Amino acid sequence: MATSAIKRQRKRRRIDEDGDPEFQVAPMVDVLLVLMLFFMAITSTEVLQKDKNLTLAEEKNAKKLEGNKKNEIVINVGWDGINNVAQYSMSGIPYATADAMQSTLASRHQETPAAYVVIRADRDAQYSNISDVMNACASAGIATVTFAVLTGGGDSNNKKPAPAGAASN
């Protein structure tokens, strides 16, 4: 009994003279830091897939792809105009050829059978390089391939990168 009375007195001391409980700042700061780390982790994975050095083709009649972003595999096909060679990358990892990506594509397809590929090709890349990527996707068992293009139809201030409609191999 005496211990419960002492506990009640301690609780009363925590309440200031106005009767308002004290506001704990440290737990709120902890929650904010956890939220900040969470959002930083999410945004960094999205940034890794996009190559800023690519100049995408323009298409005013492109349709926005409606799909699950978690199932999206982004392949960047860059073009080195000085050496006249294509540069391939997937998830920030460079590959020498499109065929070198095939084993990685096959393992990603086994993990997620609903996976689809978004090809982000430079407008100067040759069709044969894009065709090589499509053949690697087909060999890996991925049948749905889409292309990312700039939409906006000629107004350079209104151009937004967006995946175009799906095409099957």
- Burial class of 100 by CB neighbour count within 10 A (0 to 12, 13 to 18, 19+): middle
Side by side, the strands of the sheet bearing 116-121 are 93-95, 85-90, 72-80, 116-121, 144-151, 160-168
114 and 95 fall within a common domain: yes
pTM comes to 0.60
How would DSSP label each residue in 125-165? S-HHHHHHHHHHHHHTT--EEEEEEEESTT-GGG-EEEEEE
34 and 57 fall within a common domain: no
Phi, psi values for residue 167, rounded to 5°: -130, 140
44 and 59 fall within a common domain: no
Residue bearing tokens 């930083």 = 40
For each successive 10 residues of the chain (169 residues), what is the average pLDDT?
Answer: 64 58 83 90 63 72 71 88 88 89 91 89 88 93 86 52 50
- Burial class of 124 by CB neighbour count within 10 A (0 to 12, 13 to 18, 19+): middle
CATH number, residue 150: 3.30.420.270
- What residue numbers bound the domain in which 18 lies? 2-48
Phi, psi values for residue 15, rounded to 5°: -85, 130
For the chain, the domain total comes to: 2
Q: Which residues, at least 6 apart from 138, have a Cβ–Cβ distance to it below 8 Å? A: 169
42 and 61 fall within a common domain: no
Spatial separation of the C-alpha atoms in residues 150 and 56, rounded to whole Å: 6
9 and 26 fall within a common domain: yes
70 and 134 fall within a common domain: yes
Q: Extract the tokens encoding 158.
A: 């209104």
Say if residues 133 and 94 touch (Cβ distance below 8 Å): no
